[in-house]
Amino acid sequence: MFSKLKVPCVAVVENMCYFDADGKRYYPFGQGSGSQVVQQFGIPHLFDLPIQPTLSASGDTGIPEVVADPQGDAAKTFQNLGVCVVQQCAKIRQQVSTAVSYDRSIRAIRVKVPDSDEEFLLHPATVRQNDRSAQSVDEWTGEQKVQYGDIPEDIEPEEIRPMGNYAVSITWPDGFSQIAPYDQLEMLERLVDVPRAANIL
């Protein structure tokens, strides 16, 4: 949804994730779903919020948890989340160019690694075949839903947009919108390394 709205996602927050009782921590809804989303979409941060009556009460009374109990775990999570959002928004503002683009002249996706001089090329079909979203891979079994043979070798992206500092959104001719994290792109098979221009003194 955020990809379609062109809204960068800088963190995942698992609400009502756990509760503490009798000196133990319990996860009534299971563990790992937040981590799975982070890995699937390459989102850089994950935060957990507990099942805690005071959180609901703070919303009703108008006194935020960070004010009512500034040293509590929930307050610290909110504070860390706030710092994360500010830092990530600052990074997004500093972006001056798209790190990933499509070079039609050579029919290849050109990747410029963030904060690096490294640049490399990827075959569009390779990028599409390695989509890790729930539309391509069963989120419970890990089984590949979309087979390599289902993707045309001559497929070309229609649009590539940056998604914050962690990924790009790629729109394909069949309407599929793929979120491709930078770290995932770096692991794919490359067409050829782009030669760097020599410095002339």
pLDDT single digits (tens) 170-190: 999 988 888 888 888 888 999
Output Rg (C-alpha) for the chain, integer angstroms.
21
**Res 96 pLDDT > 60:** no
Cβ contacts of 19-23, under 8 Å, gap ≥ 24: 19/50, 19/51, 19/52, 20/50
Strand order in the sheet with 24-26: 24-26, 12-21, 46-50
**38 and 90 share one domain:** yes
Distance separating alpha carbons of residues 163 and 132, to the nearest angstrom: 16
> For the domain that residue 149 is a member of, what is the CATH number?
3.30.2020.30
Torsion of CA 36, 38, 41, 45, to 10 degrees: 180
**Res 201 pLDDT > 60:** no
Q: How big is the chain, counted in residues?
A: 201
The model's pLDDT over 53-90, given as tens digits with 9 standing for 90+, comes to 888 888 788 888 888 888 888 889 999 999 988 888 87
What does the pLDDT read at residue 123?
94
**107 and 181 share one domain:** yes
What mean pLDDT value characterizes the chain?
82
Tokens coding 188: 């794919």
Place 103 in a pLDDT band, splitting at 50, 70 and 90. very high
Its domain, for residue 28, covers 12-94
What does the pLDDT read at residue 200?
47
Q: Which of 38, 71, 94 is the last residue of a domain?
A: 94
Q: Which of 94, 110, 139 is the last residue of a domain?
A: 94
Place 166 in a pLDDT band, splitting at 50, 70 and 90. confident
Q: Is the model more confident about 134 or about 6?
A: 134
Distance separating alpha carbons of residues 60 and 47, to the nearest angstrom: 23
The model's pLDDT over 8-19, given as tens digits with 9 standing for 90+, comes to 778 899 999 999
Residue 42 burial (C-beta neighbours within 10 Å; 0-12, 13-18, 19+):
buried
**112 and 86 share one domain:** no
Count up the domains in the chain and report the number.
2
Cβ contacts of 98-103, under 8 Å, gap ≥ 24: 98/160, 98/161, 98/162, 98/168, 99/162, 99/168, 99/182, 100/160, 100/162, 100/168, 100/180, 100/182, 100/185, 101/160, 102/156, 102/157, 102/160
**Res 198 pLDDT > 70:** no
What does the pLDDT read at residue 5?
57
Q: Is the model more confident about 93 or about 68?
A: 68
**32 and 76 share one domain:** yes
Q: Is residue 196 part of a domain?
A: no
